[in-house]
Structure 1
Amino acid sequence: MRAVAILAGLLLVGAASPVPPQRTAAPPPATDVMLARDTDTRWVPFELTPGNQLRFDLEIDGRRASAILDTGVSYTVASRAFAGAAGLTPASGRQRADAVGGAVPIGWAAIERIGFGGLTRTGGRVAIVDLKAIATGSAAPVDLLVGSDILSCCALDIDFDAGRFRLLPSGRLPFPGASAPLSLSPQSRVFVSEATIAGRRVRPLIVDTGDGAALTLSRGAWNAVGVKPAGLTSAVAFGLGGTIRTDMTILPTLAVGAQPMREIELRIEPKAGFSDQTSTAGRIGSGLLQRYRVLMDPRAGHMVFAPGTRAAAPPIRSTSGLLVGYDTGRLRVLHVMRGSPAAAAGWQDGEQICTVDDVPVPTIADGSVDTAWSAGEPGRVIRFGMCDGATRTLTLRRFY
């Protein structure tokens, strides 16, 4: 189970910045993006990270690298660690970019070539940023975030059920489905669309494959919709700029274009959060997109949804109220959800769990660990061995 939805959003619109930072567009030099003649056969396999992002391998300047497919990033990003190992030297000067959780320092470095699937881009630049492992919920960070500066060239066909994607010439319709509007934001050049909630059109929404949540709205957009949720709790998420706390509920229905959807997990940002800072109403993330096969083609002005095997699956709801992260043979409590059994029992952020129902938390290299108990059957009693030697129990129940 993915107990924590990770928001890795990074909106690169920063240039040289005095204090306070003045954020203006920093377009890269001219590039050449080409698709192979047989690009429709060149599927790229991916795996979903614990943070719900699409991780795959590519080649950059003759080196293999791990990457996240990220339509919510204006310009492709390389980690500082990878840039150092690959000899990518950032240009001098102080720069900053807006990210979920706050602004982050960036640099720019020229590259010769980047390629994956049937796509090859020659020339151009990548942004250099500290990419922390928490951005994917894994023990190890990735090397790159592939952004809309590359992905907007083409039609992006993501087959979540098969765990693969490909790049096609714009205008292709490789499968039938329900259509929704899709374009590039004039300011940030990221993918944007809209949704209809309670009869109200909500836009613009960033379509962000790098955001592991399903749907996130600004506080203003949520208030304008006027929905009265059956239950409202709290959650925590991690972006490149730091930690954010949100409200969370389950929307019974909404629509993205002509595609109706049911039971979608919704996060509501605090006022002056990332959406407000970027003049957007929120984000559609991979937690929603992965229910479908999705074609994203901003040049053609649309995206297309075909229901996948998970289209009707209800969202996983916590019944414990404990959002936990793996930390070398132990689970660390990252957040205690408001109104939950854990909150009522007095659990606190930062507490550490070493056993669950007398089974030790495994010591594993990749940080993957089963936390399905946190959304277990209501009425079940979980026994925890705390790392300080204490023993605690928790009775699970529905609370939102």
Structure 2
Amino acid sequence: MPRPPSSALLPLILLLLPAATVPQGNGAQGDGIATLAPDSDTRWVPFDLTPGNQIRFTLTLDARPVTAILDTGVSHSVLARNSPAADPKRITDGGQATAIGGMVAIGWLPTDRLTLGGLTRRGGGVTVADLPALATGSARAVDMLVGRDITAGQALDIDYANHRFRLIPSGQLPYPGALAPLGISPGRRVYESAATVAGRRVAPLVVDTGDGAALTLSTPAWRATRSRDLPSTTTISFGLAGPVTSTLAILPVLRIGERTAHNVEVRVEPPGGFSETIGVAGRLGSGFLQNYRVLLDPSAGRMVLSPGPQADVPPLRSTSGLLVGLEPGKLKVLHVMRGSPAATDGWQGGETICRINDAPVPADYAGSTVADWSIAAPGTVTRLGLCDGSTRTLTARRFY
């Protein structure tokens, strides 16, 4: 499946729990006790990459197979309230947690045994919250978000090119690559690093595999880089607590440790956005990480980036300006990008499209070539049949 354009609707899953939420004390509480099998380096976990750039796989929780997303931006793993593994009788109230888009209600569920690749965790528990499908990058919801509490004690080796990852002992360096700093913040308890934009250091940056975007910056961090004169538009993303509208631009150069990347999409949150609220400069997401083989080893203080075949390929860009969500048999307009052809033609959020160039919207739209109309070459004219029976044409144009 090709990478989505920089303007695509992407999920942003970052959940910070109040310290009092997670039970503390002996190893049977909180994070539990995790051990690695002697052959953990051979126990690869296969995954598929969702339309929103997220790592989706299966693990075993209390003898049940559950679908999950690997999410280093979550301070403590989350189980969906409607998952078969979430026993309502054992869930206790956990108050609220800070998520992208606002606050979400959470609970706490103790667990006995979790198995993921070569890792086994005994004891501990999971946070319980609503996990809507839209916030996890697919029309299909998952049962769980696997966060820092499960992965951070080991090195996490993500082989995006071959759709597999593994957990191995910290300190190993299984392949060469560019080094970058990495740690777990004591207060936020998530993976964090730093970057350089326009010669200015941007830190801390949450390294967030659950965020479908490449780079997201807070308004103060963006202003500090003095990159505001770049051509820009707007886009929308979805967090656990709702939608977020951001400014979108393409950075000519981004430096992460020893690695220099070119033409990287950047999303700028509105003033007072999530990153600013929790005291970080922004997030480095899977839209960037998927271009590399990535080793995340916070105990060793490092991230390793080994370029893959897509590392220097410019991001796809919308030439239509319509950001749509897939519904049965139709597309719903969720956002009209500023300065786009769609904005010029007067498109509005909430309108629905049932036909594209006189063909119906297929069930597999997100992964099909039918969706390429939104990134067509400038000058391409697309016939869009609205569900009310009217038809409009849209002429593609580069606008950011």
Question: 1:281 matched to which residue of 2?
Answer: 281
Partner AA of 2:15 in structure 1? L
Measure the CA separation in 1 of the matches of 2:202 and 2:33.
35
- Classify the secondary structure of the residue corresponding to 2:220: helix
Q: Do the aligned partners of 2:31 and 2:150 also contact (CA within 8 Å) in 1?
A: no
1:97-112 alignment runs, 5 A limit: 97-112=97-112
Question: CA 1:209–1:303 in 2, change beyond 3 Å: closer, same or farther?
Answer: same
TM-score (norm 2): 0.94
Partner AA of 1:58 in structure 2? L
Q: Do the aligned partners of 1:88 and 1:111 also contact (CA within 8 Å) in 2?
A: no
TM-score (norm 1): 0.94
- Classify the secondary structure of the residue corresponding to 1:275: helix
Partner AA of 1:68 in structure 2? I
Measure the CA separation in 1 of the matches of 2:244 and 2:398.
24
Measure the CA separation in 1 of the matches of 2:399 and 2:55.
30
Question: 1:333 matched to which residue of 2?
Answer: 333
Q: Do the aligned partners of 1:222 and 1:268 also contact (CA within 8 Å) in 2?
A: yes
Q: State the percentage of identical aligned residues.
A: 54
1:72 is the counterpart of 2:73: yes
- Classify the secondary structure of the residue corresponding to 2:96: strand
Question: CA 1:269–1:313 in 2, change beyond 3 Å: closer, same or farther?
Answer: same
Question: 2:47 matched to which residue of 1?
Answer: 46
Q: Do the aligned partners of 1:52 and 1:136 also contact (CA within 8 Å) in 2?
A: no
Question: 2:304 matched to which residue of 1?
Answer: 304
Return the offset for 1:12. Answer: 2.2
1:237-252 alignment runs, 5 A limit: 237-252=237-252
1:135 is the counterpart of 2:140: no
Which range moves more in the overlay, 4-13 or 169-178?
Answer: 4-13
Task: Tell me the alpha carbon deviations over residues 268-306 of structure 1, each in whole angstroms, 9 at most, x when there is no partner.
Answer: 001111101110000000000001001000000000010
Question: CA 1:162–1:229 in 2, change beyond 3 Å: closer, same or farther?
Answer: farther
Question: 1:215 matched to which residue of 2?
Answer: 215
Measure the CA separation in 1 of the matches of 2:86 and 2:293.
35
Task: Tell me the alpha carbon deviations over residues 37-71 of structure 1, each in whole angstroms, 9 at most, x when there is no partner.
Answer: 11111111111111111000000000001000000
Return the offset for 1:89. Answer: 4.0
- Classify the secondary structure of the residue corresponding to 2:11: coil
Question: CA 1:212–1:30 in 2, change beyond 3 Å: closer, same or farther?
Answer: closer
How big is the alpha-carbon RMSD for the aligned residues of Structure 1 and Structure 2?
1.6
**Segments ≥4 residues shifted beyond 3 Å:** 25-30, 88-94, 366-370
Q: Do the aligned partners of 1:90 and 1:128 also contact (CA within 8 Å) in 2?
A: no
Return the offset for 1:391. Answer: 0.4
- Classify the secondary structure of the residue corresponding to 2:342: helix
Partner AA of 2:59 in structure 1? L
- Unpaired runs of 5+ residues, structure 2, are none
Question: 1:21 matched to which residue of 2?
Answer: none
Question: 1:57 matched to which residue of 2?
Answer: 58
1:381 is the counterpart of 2:386: no
Task: Tell me the alpha carbon deviations over residues 141-161 of structure 1, each in whole angstroms, 9 at most, x when there is no partner.
Answer: 100000001110100000111
Question: 1:262 matched to which residue of 2?
Answer: 262
Q: Do the aligned partners of 1:60 and 1:115 also contact (CA within 8 Å) in 2?
A: yes
Return the offset for 1:85. Answer: 4.8
Question: CA 1:351–1:184 in 2, change beyond 3 Å: closer, same or farther?
Answer: same
Partner AA of 1:127 in structure 2? T
Q: Do the aligned partners of 2:218 and 2:271 also contact (CA within 8 Å) in 1?
A: yes
Q: Do the aligned partners of 2:61 and 2:85 also contact (CA within 8 Å) in 1?
A: no
Question: 2:10 matched to which residue of 1?
Answer: 5
Question: 1:20 matched to which residue of 2?
Answer: none
- Classify the secondary structure of the residue corresponding to 1:354: strand
Question: 1:193 matched to which residue of 2?
Answer: 193
- Unpaired runs of 5+ residues, structure 1, are 17-24
Question: CA 1:361–1:390 in 2, change beyond 3 Å: closer, same or farther?
Answer: same
Measure the CA separation in 1 of the matches of 2:88 and 2:114.
13
Return the offset for 1:373. Answer: 1.1
Question: CA 1:30–1:382 in 2, change beyond 3 Å: closer, same or farther?
Answer: closer
Return the offset for 1:99. Answer: 0.4
